Chains A and B, each alone.
Chain A
Amino acid sequence: MNAHAEHAGHHVVPVSTYLIIFAALIAGTLLTVGAAYYDIDFQVLGYTVPLNTTVALLIAGTKAALVVLFFMHVKYSSRLIWVFAAAGFLWLIILFTLTLADYQSRAW
């Protein structure tokens, strides 16, 4: 009865877009497998900071974002959907950071 102005969902995404995203996802998969075979380190102050997981998560995050935006049409959806989709990931981050904050700062 309100907010009928948003006819966003009727947006028909062209097949070519799907194919481009698909190609990017496949490329990302190959990239993440390839990268996993190399030691990716970062040297700082004499410490070696391993970055393999960070890289893997960055690639996975990018792939997920592509799926969410294009396959799941969030790019073409109302702001409400944007907010809720973001909230899901934000709450996941809250669960992660506050829990790990405990583990990072204790002896166990």
Chain B
Amino acid sequence: MTDARQPALPKLHYLNADYGIKSWLLTTDHKRIAILYLLGVTFFFFVGGLFAVLVRVELLTPAGDFVQAETYNKLFTMHGVFMVFFFLIPTIPAVLGNFLVPLMIGARDLAFPRINLLSWYIYMAGGAFTILAMAAGGVDTGWTFYTPYSSTYANTHVMLTGIGVFITGFSSILTGLNFIVTIHKMRAPGLTWFRLPLFIWAHYATSLIMILGTPVVAITVLLLALERAFRIGIFDPALGGDPVLFQHLFWFYSHPAVYIMILPGMGVVNELITCFSRKKIFGYHFIAFSSVAIALLGFLVWAHHMFVAGLSVYASLVFSVLSFLVAIPSAIKVFNWTATLYKGSVSYQAPMLYAMGFIGLFTLGGLTGLFLATLAVDIHVHDTYFVVAHFHYIMVGGMVMAYMGGLHYWWPKMTGRMYPDTWARFAALVIFIGFNLTFFPQFVLGYLGMPRRYHAYPEEFQVLNVMSTAGASILGVGYLIPFFYLMYSLRYGAIAGPNPWGAKGLEWETPSPPPTENFPVTPMVTEEPYEYGAPGAAPRGHVRPQEAPGD
């Protein structure tokens, strides 16, 4: 930003190609749809975040004195529903993936642009139903909707919420379908599978899970709705059903869904680490295949959520050993990222700080997952704050960190402008500190035996809960800062130019923001992926004077 010779914005790009609300609401341009998704997920993130704040305030004191028990139950349920189904699952694929998959593979758009738009509408319709459920009084079953509580006993808006989740599932399915077809059929000439950015591999693996898993939770939620509507008993023991079957079907999707959330994040981190250490990724093939391995093995471990639920001893053993297996591909990734830094040229711009934060927090989150796969230990920590801490390390420490890193990294590509890097680094640091202060004490709380979803708790747990709430307030501030400076940058940010980071990848070879058709001519790929430091490939960072892009 010290550069005096600012590059200029291209005259015509996807943002100014057309004007008016209609040009956005009826667009089939994947980049504009990505922006629509960005608005949607940001909204739901702050809605879910607001619920989280209220939950943490309640837990400041042992007595249930801030809100009523029933309200509290609705708060954590709505927090879970909004965050899981409307933020964590769609965000990276639908925002970054939507924007970048065609750009990275040198295509003009996704294979089915109108289906892409349809999936945004489906997402928003699902969100509308869930908001409606919230406005009508909320739902109090927990985001897991366990029967028979959800089917028979709860008298809150389970149906509306269920419909919302059911509908949103189809948005996920259509996005996954679109990605798979696009990646198979629309790669630029010369872009072989092993020249693809690992971001693409990660999204391919994610899409497989979306396709194979989502329909199962859709039918499960549908059966639950039928059960409530017609008083039939598919999952209700009073009517001959088995509540554990609901858990099987629910987790068949909802465990792999964890990989829907984290795999795209891993994909983002590959791009960040290589760019900001100017290194070819270490172990490209191993990382690529580990994404696919996670997607496939991820389907074989679901019942580790059910070790104390009445699962048979033998089934528990099988699911335990399979759960350990799925840890290996994750470990491979972490080791390879670390090795990529070795002898690199590491710079500390904000996206890189997020990426390094991701590696650390994901490592801790992943390792604590091993505790939950270990049968005897899981008996003790299941359904306690240990589990809560574990999945927040994966979800918030992993997925959200990666998303923030990716959003910053590709922000200049999406908007054509830079954000203030000092503020961004500061925010990254605040988020990292706030996050750890919020969630690390919860590991201890969990091992001490504090059950999750408790409105009031015994006094000896208070100190740790106060620490956690204090951390949450820091974390909350950390998430607000980027919101403001990113808004600011839209108007006042320095012009970025096509490749402000000196990064590799096709998306950086087109102007920022890109034209509607992405590339003036279909690019031809002759290079291996991440050829940083190759002879004749001098990095062109925006910290260095450069030519204004021709348009």
A and B, direct touch (CB closer than 8 Å): yes
Q: Chain A interface (Cβ within 8 Å of chain B)?
A: 1-3, 80, 87-88, 91, 94-95, 98-99, 101-103, 105-106, 108
Q: Taking the complex as formed, is B318 at the interface, i.e. its CB lies under 8 A from any CB of chain A? A: yes
Take A91-B212, A106-B311 as given contacts and tell me if A98 and B303 are in contact as well, using a CB distance cutoff of 8 Å: yes
Collect the chain A residues with CB atoms within 8 Å of residue B189's CB: 1-2
The residue on A at minimum CB distance from B208 is A87
Collect the chain B residues with CB atoms within 8 Å of residue A101's CB: 314-315, 318
Query: What is the CB-to-nearest-CB distance from B200 to chain A, in angstroms, rounded to a whole number?
Result: 14
A103-B248 Cα distance, complex, nearest whole Å = 11
Collect the chain A residues with CB atoms within 8 Å of residue B314's CB: 101, 105
Q: Taking the complex as formed, is B410 at the interface, i.e. its CB lies under 8 A from any CB of chain A? A: no
The residue on B at minimum CB distance from A107 is B312
Collect the chain B residues with CB atoms within 8 Å of residue A3's CB: 184-185
Take A1-B186, A98-B300 as given contacts and tell me if A106 and B315 are in contact as well, using a CB distance cutoff of 8 Å: yes
Q: Taking the complex as formed, is B242 at the interface, i.e. its CB lies under 8 A from any CB of chain A? A: yes
A102-B315 Cα distance, complex, nearest whole Å = 5
Collect the chain A residues with CB atoms within 8 Å of residue B21's CB: none
Interface size on B, residues (CB 8 A): 27
Query: What is the CB-to-nearest-CB distance from A64 to chain B, in angstroms, rounded to a whole number?
Result: 18
Give the dominant DSSP class at B's interface.
helix
A28-B188 Cα distance, complex, nearest whole Å = 47
> In the bound complex, do residue A105 and residue B313 qualify as a contact, i.e. CB atoms below 8 Å apart?
yes
The residue on B at minimum CB distance from A4 is B185
Interface positions, chain B 203-251, Cβ under 8 Å from A, are: 212, 216, 242, 244-245, 248-249
Q: List 19 A-B contacts (CB under 8 A).
A: A2-B187, A80-B184, A88-B212, A91-B212, A95-B216, A95-B252, A98-B300, A98-B303, A98-B315, A101-B314, A101-B315, A102-B244, A105-B312, A105-B313, A105-B315, A106-B312, A106-B315, A108-B242, A108-B244
> In the bound complex, do residue A1 and residue B188 qualify as a contact, i.e. CB atoms below 8 Å apart?
yes
Query: What is the CB-to-nearest-CB distance from B526 to chain A, in angstroms, rounded to a whole number?
Result: 15
The residue on B at minimum CB distance from A95 is B252
The residue on A at minimum CB distance from B189 is A1
Interface centre among B186, B189, B299 (most CB of A within 10 A): B299
* Bitwise interface map of B from 280 to 318 toward A, beta carbon under 8 Å scored 1, else 0: 000000000000000000011011000000111111001
Collect the chain B residues with CB atoms within 8 Å of residue A98's CB: 300, 302-303, 315, 318-319
A106-B245 Cα distance, complex, nearest whole Å = 13
Collect the chain A residues with CB atoms within 8 Å of residue B186's CB: 1
Query: What is the CB-to-nearest-CB distance from A6 to chain B, in angstroms, rounded to a whole number?
Result: 11
> In the bound complex, do residue B315 and residue A1 qualify as a contact, i.e. CB atoms below 8 Å apart?
no
A108-B237 Cα distance, complex, nearest whole Å = 12
Collect the chain B residues with CB atoms within 8 Å of residue A2's CB: 185, 187, 189
A87-B212 Cα distance, complex, nearest whole Å = 9
A103-B244 Cα distance, complex, nearest whole Å = 10
A99-B302 Cα distance, complex, nearest whole Å = 10
> In the bound complex, do residue A102 and residue B248 qualify as a contact, i.e. CB atoms below 8 Å apart?
yes
Ordered nearest first, which 10 A-B pairs have the shortest CB separation?
A106-B312, A102-B315, A105-B312, A105-B314, A99-B248, A91-B212, A101-B315, A102-B312, A102-B311, A1-B189
A3-B314 Cα distance, complex, nearest whole Å = 46
